[in-house]
Amino acid sequence: MAADRMTLTTADGAFSAYVARPDGQGPWPAVVVIQEIFGVNAVMRGVCDRLASQGYLAVCPDLFWRIEPGIDITDHSEAEWKKAFALYNAFDVDKGVEDIAATIAQVRASLECDGKVGAVGYCLGGLLAFLTAARTDSDATVAYYGVGVENHLGEAEKLAHPLMMHIAEEDGFVPKDAQARIVGALKNHRCVTIFSYPGRDHAFTRTGGQNFHAEDAAVANGRTGEFFAKHLK
């Protein structure tokens, strides 16, 4: 596996992305990794590296570039949480989805990509993944514990490609009533597969995080791996 950075361009400017490549010669199917509120940090780079080991060109764009480029913080201190929530509150979701769409288009056109591009997002990125599935031509998308999805369920009618959602049943950022609304609106959608995880809190797959649960993280990531293998390879 090899990793470096690439530059992506939009009408509003340019921003960077972390890139992890599989061993050997491409082209490969690609997955755009959509960040949490902590930027393109070690956890997100680790997700990319894992995907690269599974045979995907993995790209994690810096979606906070319009606010402050290069954010790379953790969930390990109060100061970092304060910084993360300030970035979250300043973030323009619609512009973020536009940046993801630009990333998908530029990755798909790359000689390193075989034309198939999916996406996976966590937390804030989980919401962005849902909107990516609704608003872009991502071939297959996965949303982990997306925050605020219940406020965008009207966009479900635009879903045309496979979407997998992982919901933590004890998610402190996605209340039970919000979960019920999400499941009720999407459980019978032909493009959507939903998995719920009893007893799990927000970010249960975040390696090193307070709520990390190794067993259920492995289950969720295994399901994601099978989903991408089915739809991208």
Q: What residue segments make up the domains of the chain, in order of their start? A: 2-232
Look at residue 64 and tell me whether its pLDDT is greater than 80: yes
What is the tens place of the pLDDT at every residue in 71-86?
A: 999 999 999 999 999 9
Distant-in-sequence contacts of 128-131, Cβ < 8 A, 24+ apart: 128/34, 128/63, 128/93, 128/96, 128/97, 128/100, 129/34, 129/163, 130/155, 130/163, 130/165, 131/93, 131/97, 131/155
pLDDT of residue 47: 98
pLDDT band at 57 (very low <50, low <70, confident <90, very high): very high
Any idea which fold 2-232 has?
Rossmann fold (3.40.50)
Residue 202 annotated in active site: yes
What is the tens place of the pLDDT at every residue in 2-36?
A: 779 999 999 999 999 999 999 999 899 999 999 99
What is the distance between the alpha carbons of residues 92 and 82, in angstroms, rounded to a whole number? Answer: 18
Catalytic residue among 75, 139, 201, 202: 202
Look at residue 142 and tell me whether its pLDDT is greater than 80: yes
Catalytic residue among 171, 201, 213, 216: 171
What is the tens place of the pLDDT at every residue in 84-119?
A: 999 999 999 999 999 999 999 999 999 999 999 999
- Residue 50 contacts by C-beta under 8 Å, 6 or more apart in sequence? 221
Instruction: Indicate whether this model's pTM tops 0.95.
Output: yes
**Contact call for residues 203 and 211 (beta carbons, < 8 A):** yes
* Segment 128-157 mean pLDDT: 98
Mean confidence (pLDDT) of the chain: 97
pLDDT of residue 1: 78
